[in-house]
Amino acid sequence: MDQMQSDPERTGVPLTELSEDEDLFRRSCRDFAKERIAPRVREMEDRGRLDPALIREIFDLGLMGVHIAEAHGGGGGSFFMSVLAIEELSRIDASVGVFVDVQNTLVNNAIMRWGSREQQERFLPRLARSTVGAYALSEAGSGSDAFAMECRARPDGGDFVLNGRKLWTTNALEADLFIVFANAAPERGYKGITAFLVEKEFPGFSVGAKEDKLGIRASSTCELLLEDCRVPGANVLGETGHGYKIAIETLNEGRIGIGAQMLGVAEGSWRCGADYAKERRAFGRPIADFQAVQFQLAESATRIEAARLMVYNAARLKDRRRPFLTEAAMAKYYASQVAESVTSLMIEVYGGYGYTRDYPVEKYFRDSKIGKIYEGTSNMQLQTIAKYLLR
C-alpha cells in the first residue's frame, strides 16, 4: 500500500509512515470516535462525567489494554499504537483521550515494567478487560516538585499502612486500581518513596471531591484520602524505595501520550475551522477563499504536522528501546504549544460563533490548556530539554 497516501480526514498533508496494521488500527479508532463518542460529547461535558456505557465499549474494543500482551488478555500491540488511539480519540473528545492515555501509558506501562509476575498475572488481565486504573503522585505541596510528598507508608508486619492525601488524580471516579506513591522511609528523602498498588475496596481508602475544571470536564480529577489504609506487602510495585525511579520513568513515557492528546485536540479543532471556513460566506463568497484565512489554516496545518512528527518519533524510539527522554519532553512541550495556539485561532475563524457553546471550537480551546500543565509543566519540559542538551 502507498504509505504516503493523502488522507482527507487529516489537515490535508501526507500521513507519517504507518504499517498496514497500524493504519487499520488508527482507522478503527477514528471510526469508533466518530460513531460512538461524538454523539455523547455534549452530554458528557454538561454532566462532567464519562458515560459508563461508553467505558464498556472502550474496553470491548480493546483500547484499555492496547500493548498489554495477548497472554494477559491485551491487544499485544505497541506503545506507538496506544499513541495512535489517544490521538484519534482526542480529535473528538480530549476527556476520552486522557482516560485511555492514563490507563495505557501510566498504569499498564508501570505494571508491565515493574510488576512482579504475580502482579502482572493478577492485574493486567483485569486492566485489559474491565478495571480502570489511576496514577496518584501529586499532592497539595507536591506538583512539579514531586518528591516533596507528605504521604507516608509505615511498615507494619508484612504490610504497609498508608496515610495522606493525593490531589489531581485522573480517572479517580472510575478506577478500581490506583498506583499510589508514598514515602516509606522519610529519613532517606526521595529514596524512601515507594509505589503501591492500592485497590479501591481497601479499608481506609476513599475517593474525595471531584475538581470543577476549565476543560476536559468529563474526565474525573479527584483527591484521594488514605487514613490508616492497609496495603499488603505483595502490592508493592517494584521494590521498596524505588518509587522515585518508577515515577520518573513512567512519566517520561506518559508525556508522549499527552503529546498525542494535544495533537488530537489541535487536529480536531483545525478540521472544524477548515470545514466552517468553506461554509461561512462573507462578501459573496466563502471565507476560505480569502488569503488571510488560507494562510491561517496553512500555518496551523504546518505546525500540527511538525507536532505529529515529534510525537510519533518519540513513540517509535520508545518502542525500539532507544533513548527518548529529550524527544518525549520536546514532543509534549511543542504539541501543547501547538494545541493552544491552533484552538485559539480556530475560534477566530468562527468569529463570534466560536465564542459560544453552540459550536465545538470553544471546547477544544478549553481542553488544550491542560496540556501545558499536567504530567510536567511546559517549564519543566524546557528544563529537561536544556539539561540533556547541555550535558
Position 155 scores a pLDDT of: 96
**Do residues 74 and 59 touch, judged by C-beta distance below 8 A?**
no
**Do residues 259 and 307 touch, judged by C-beta distance below 8 A?**
yes
Q: Which three-class secondary structure state does DSSP give residue 96?
A: helix
Asked if residue 2 has pLDDT above 50, the reply is no
**CATH match for 20-132 among 3.40.50.460, 3.30.420.10, 1.10.540.10, 1.10.150.80:** 1.10.540.10
Q: Which three cell numbers stand for residue 254?
A: 506518559
Position 4 scores a pLDDT of: 38
Cα 74 from chain centroid? Answer: 19
Per-residue model confidence as pLDDT tens digits over 37-72: 999 999 999 999 999 999 999 999 999 999 999 999
Position 145 scores a pLDDT of: 85
Position 146 scores a pLDDT of: 76
Sequence-distant (6+) residues with CB within 8 A of 3 are 15, 17, 18
Asked if residue 85 has pLDDT above 80, the reply is yes
State the Cα torsion 44-48-50-52 to the nearest 10°: -100
Asked if residue 181 has pLDDT above 90, the reply is yes
Asked if residue 337 has pLDDT above 50, the reply is yes
Asked if residue 148 has pLDDT above 60, the reply is yes
Give the mean model confidence (pLDDT) for residues 297-312.
98
CATH of domain 134-243: 2.40.110.10
Asked if residue 389 has pLDDT above 60, the reply is yes
Nearest to 239 by CA among 185, 166, 199: 185
Sequence-distant (6+) residues with CB within 8 A of 199 are 176, 177, 178, 205, 235
Position 55 scores a pLDDT of: 98
Burial of 267 (0-12, 13-18, 19+ CB in 10 A): buried
State how beta strands 285-286 and 221-232 pair.
unpaired
Per-residue model confidence as pLDDT tens digits over 95-119: 999 999 999 999 999 999 999 999 9
Position 391 scores a pLDDT of: 87
Position 14 scores a pLDDT of: 45
- Which CATH fold topology does 245-389 show? Butyryl-CoA Dehydrogenase, subunit A; domain 3 (1.20.140)
For residue 147, name the pLDDT band (cuts at 50, 70, 90).
confident
For residue 16, name the pLDDT band (cuts at 50, 70, 90).
low
CA torsion sign, 256 to 375 to 347 to 37?
positive
Query: Which sequence positions are flagged as catalytic?
Result: 375
Give the domain ranges of the chain. Answer: 20-132, 134-243, 245-389
Give the mean model confidence (pLDDT) for residues 211-238.
98
Give the mean model confidence (pLDDT) for residues 73-83.
98
Count Cβ atoms below 10 Å from residue 282 Cβ, excluding itself.
11
Asked if residue 7 has pLDDT above 60, the reply is no
Task: Please state, rounded to an integer, the average pLDDT across all residues of the chain.
Answer: 95
The model carries a pTM of: 0.95
